Structures are given as structure tokens and as C-alpha cells.
Amino acid sequence: MSTQHLRNLSPGADLRTPRPLLSPAAELGRSVRGTPLDRVEPRASRGARAELTGWTSYDPRFASDVLSGLSQPRKSIPPTWLYDQRGSQLFEAITELPEYYATRSEISLLRSCAGAIAARIGPDATVIEIGSGSSRKTPLLLGAVQRPYAYVPVDISGAFLMHSAALLRGRFPDLRIMPVVADFMRPVQLPHALRFAPASGRRLVFFPGSTIGNLEPDEAAACLARLGALCGPNGMIVLGVDENRDEETLLPAYNDAAGVTAAFDLNLLERINRELGGTFDVGAFRHEARYDRERHRIEMHLVSVREQSAEVLGRSFAFAQGETIHTENSYKFDRAAIDSIAKQAKLQRVADWREDRGRFAVHLLAPCA
Ligand code: AVI
């Protein structure tokens, strides 16, 4: 999920912006680690509700997810919408936080296991990265593969993809880099030029960042099945997974002291105000991360600090004091959970590696024979 969020940072938050700043139109077309958004509703076809607010253009899928999510007895909005330009920048800032161990653990783990993965996949491999984003972890894998034939970064954001591809070109000048703008929650069409790849070269699909944890287990299985189809019968999948189930480290990772995760979460309300003519009093909500021990998942919620109401596209939504909008799940799939998800996707584990006292894992999966 390159599904589909980042200003109003709390003091102390260090906002680095490795992601390119996109134009508002391009930004509306970016999703994240999840669902896409490639189109702004044309003015001619805008809905009657937009007329009511004087709002002239918005992403209809964003509007629909927000209006239906806020109409539920338990209010929720899919995490995809956390990632507008500011949300994406804030997410990059999260990955640098002292409390957010996952990115550092994965980078360190990839440093140690990339050689073993490269040995298993063999020479002339095509590396396909899913939700490639800033492609920050890519050189660790690409640098280990012997004579990589091509690198195919797949991301929903065209502008972001081209920027990252250009940076990688500087680093790997002889490598064929073939960016694909696509939503990995749907089947991805690979470049036709890959048919010229040497028959001996296998495909290595790289799905890092524990993005799989932002999907429900059944969605995760469907996603892995699509990745299995992408790598083909001889290929393999490198999957980064946050396995940490220790609340003492998990809760601070999603409730950091500098308030960057809070800014990331609250930016969703700001985005609704900006893009959908919302009237949320952002200061009357607070971010809360909870750990669900039964489901082994972190949940992010926006909690209404008082009884209030807000309008979106002319519709009014009431909030009781303490009522929440559920904005993200982050499942902590352990080895057994990944086994069961992989089995549903007709994949099997070839190898796995762990780092940081077992908090983060990299799994090497292959289609079942
Ligand atoms: C992108 N994804 C794997 C992150 C996670 O840890 O679930 C998103 C995130 N949300 C808050 N902090 C980080």
C-alpha cells in the first residue's frame, strides 16, 4: 500500500522532507500503502453536496470513504487517506523518530541478510519493489544481487516514483530502471520490455516496511497472492514484517513524545477541512494509539475531547465526548500469522531472518510447487 499525510508539527519534531513536494493535483492523485486516487472529480460532474458548500473539486473516493466512514456507528476512515503530501512527509519523519524502531530494524536486518537473499535468487534477477516510495531500502538489496537485470519500482505516485528512480539512476548507472505507476492493491501490469530479460534471471518482489500490517489478514493474503503472480513460479518475495507485540515499546512508537504521529493522524482532519470543505475543530480532537492484545494490532484513533459536531460536504456529523474516529490498524503478524497468510496465498517460506531482539523479520517466500 503506495496506499495512500504531514504541518502543524509539534515543537521538537524534526521534519525532513525526502519525499518530493507534489503539485496539489498530483498530490490528489497519490495514495499510499493502499488505495489510489488518481482523479479529481471534474467540475462538470461534481456532486450536489459540493454545490452546497461551494466546493468545486475533490477526490470522489476520498469523499465517499469519509462520508460513509463517519456515518457508521463506530466511525472510521481508511488509512490510505492519511497520506497526502503532508501526511507522506510526516510519515517519513516518523521513520526517523527514536521510538519508531521498525525502519531502523529493517534497514539493519536487510544489511545482514541481503547477501543470503541474493545467493538464493541468483544472477540476472529483476527486482520489483512494491510501494517503493522513497526507495530508501532498495540499494541494500540491489547492491547485493549479482548483475541485476532490471529494477521495477511500483508506486501509485508517478511524480514520487520518477524522482526516486532518478536518484537510483545516479547510484546504479548501468541498471535498467522501469518505473510502473500502479496500485498494488490491484493486479500490476509489468513493463513489456521485461520479456527480453534472460530466461535464467528470476524475479525478486520486494515488499518492505511492514506495509502488509496495515491490511486486514484476508486483504494481506489477497495482496500476497497477487505478488506471487508477479514473481512467477521461479521467483521469490522479500517481505518485511514488524513482529513486535511488546506494548512497552509499541505504544511509544505510535505515541511519540514529539507528537509527530499525532500530527500525522490529526492531519487527516485538516485534509478533510482542506479538500472536502470540512469544519472540524482539529484542536478538539486528540490522537490515541491503542494496542489490541487479542488481534495483535495497534489501532490509531482520533478522540473527540468534547461533545461537538462537524460538517463535511454539507453533511453534519455529531461526536460524543470520548467518541473516536478509527484511522489505522497496524497488525503485528508473527511467524505463525505470516505462515497462515502465505498458505492462503499459495506461498511458502524459504527462509526468514530476525533483528532487534526479534522485533522485526524479513521473510523470503516462494510460490508453492
Ligand atoms: C506504513 N506503516 C507500516 C506504518 C505502521 O507502522 O503501521 C504506518 C504508521 N502509522 C503510524 N506510524 C507509522
> Angle at Cα 173 formed by Cα 168 and Cα 176, nearest 5°?
80
pLDDT value, residue 56: 63
Structure confidence at residue 55 as a pLDDT band (50, 70, 90): low
What pLDDT does residue 14 have? 25
Q: Which of 38-52, 124-138, 188-202 has the lowest mean pLDDT?
A: 38-52
Closest ligand 1 atom to residue 264 Cα is 11
Q: How far is residue 159 from each of residues 162, 170, 308, 360, measured CA to CA in Å?
A: 5, 17, 39, 30
Q: Give the bridge partners for 365, in sequence order.
A: 237, 349
Task: Quickly state the pLDDT bin for 80 (edges 50, 70, 90).
Answer: confident
The pLDDT tens digits for 339-367 are 999 999 999 999 999 987 889 999 999 99
Task: Assign 208 a pLDDT band (cuts: 50, 70, 90).
Answer: very high
CA-CA distance, 299 to 290, in Å (whole number)?
5
Q: What is the mean pLDDT of residues 256-262?
A: 98
Mean of pLDDT values over 66-87: 94
Judged against a pLDDT cut of 50, whether residue 113 lies above it is answered with yes
Query: 258 or 10: whose pLDDT is higher?
Result: 258
Mean pLDDT, residues 176-180 taken together:
95
Comparing 24-28, 56-60, 194-198, which segment has the lowest mean pLDDT? 24-28
Cα 56 to middle of ligand 1, angstroms:
32
- The residue-averaged pLDDT of 225-239 equals 97
The residue nearest atom 2 of ligand 1, judged by CA position, is 211
- The fraction of the chain above a pLDDT of 90, given in percent, is 74
126 is written with which cell numbers?
529483476
**Mean pLDDT lowest among 49-63, 87-101, 128-142:** 49-63
Give residue 33 CA to ligand 1 midpoint distance, Å.
Answer: 10
| Pocket-forming residues, ligand 1, beta carbon under 6 Å | 33, 94, 102, 209-211, 213-214, 254, 261, 328, 330
Report pLDDT digits (tens) over 325-341.
Answer: 999 999 999 999 999 99
Mean predicted confidence (pLDDT) in 223-245: 97
Ligand 1 atom with the smallest distance to the CA of 210 is: 3
Phi-psi region of 122 (alpha: psi -120 to 50; beta: other; left: phi over 0): left
Nearest to 313 by CA among 284, 285, 273, 281: 273
Q: Where are the alpha helices (DSSP H) in 143-290?
A: 158-171, 217-231, 247-253, 260-276
Residue 368 has a pLDDT of 97
- At residue 369 the predicted structure's pLDDT band, cuts being 50, 70 and 90, is confident
Residue to probe by mutation, ligand 1, list 184, 214, 256, most atoms within 8 Å of CB? 214
Q: DSSP per residue over 97-153, as a string?
A: SSS-HHHHHHHHHHHHHHHHHHHHH-TTPEEEEET-TT--SHHHHHTTSSS--EEEE
Q: Which three cell numbers stand for residue 59?
A: 477526490
Q: 115: pLDDT confidence band, cut at 50, 70 and 90?
A: very high
User: CB–CB of 177/168 below 8 Å?
Assistant: yes
Q: Which cell numbers in the block locate residue 150?
A: 532490471
How far is residue 54's CA from residue 206's CA, in Å, rounded to a whole number? 44
CA distance 317 to 309: 5
Distance 103 CA to ligand 1 centre (A): 10
Q: For cell 521510538, what's the residue?
A: 99
Mean of pLDDT over the chain? 86
- Provide the β-strand partners of residue 151: 127, 177
- CA-nearest residue for atom 12, ligand 1, is 254
Query: What's the gap in Å between 100 CA and the centre of ligand 1?
Result: 9
Cα gap 150→198, rounded to integer Å? 11
- 46 pLDDT more than 80: no
Q: Determine which helix (DSSP H) or strand (DSSP E) holds 353, and give its type and residue range.
A: strand 347-355
Q: At what angle do helices 85-94 and 260-276 cross, to 10 degrees?
A: 170
> In the predicted model, what is the mean pLDDT of residues 12-24?
27
Is residue 62 pLDDT above 60, yes or no? yes
Confidence at residue 42, expressed as pLDDT on a 0 to 100 scale:
30
Span from the CA of 330 to the centroid of ligand 1 (angstroms):
6
How confident is the model at residue 187, as a pLDDT?
92
Quote the pLDDT of residue 297: 98
**Torsion (CA) 209, 265, 96, 11 in degrees, nearest 10:** 180
Give the Å distance between the CA of 239 and the centre of ligand 1: 15
- What pLDDT band is residue 88 in, cutting at 50, 70 and 90? confident
Average pLDDT for 61-65: 95
Q: Closest Cα to atom 1, ligand 1: which residue?
A: 211
Mean pLDDT of 178-189: 91
pLDDT at 244: 97
Average of pLDDT values for 296-309? 98
Going from the Cα of 80 to the center of ligand 1, the distance in angstroms, rounded, reads 11
Are the beta carbons of 4 and 33 closer than 8 angstroms?
Answer: yes
Q: What is the pTM for the complete model shown?
A: 0.84
> What are the distances in angstroms from CA 139 to CA 142, 175, 180, 209, 252?
5, 12, 18, 15, 29
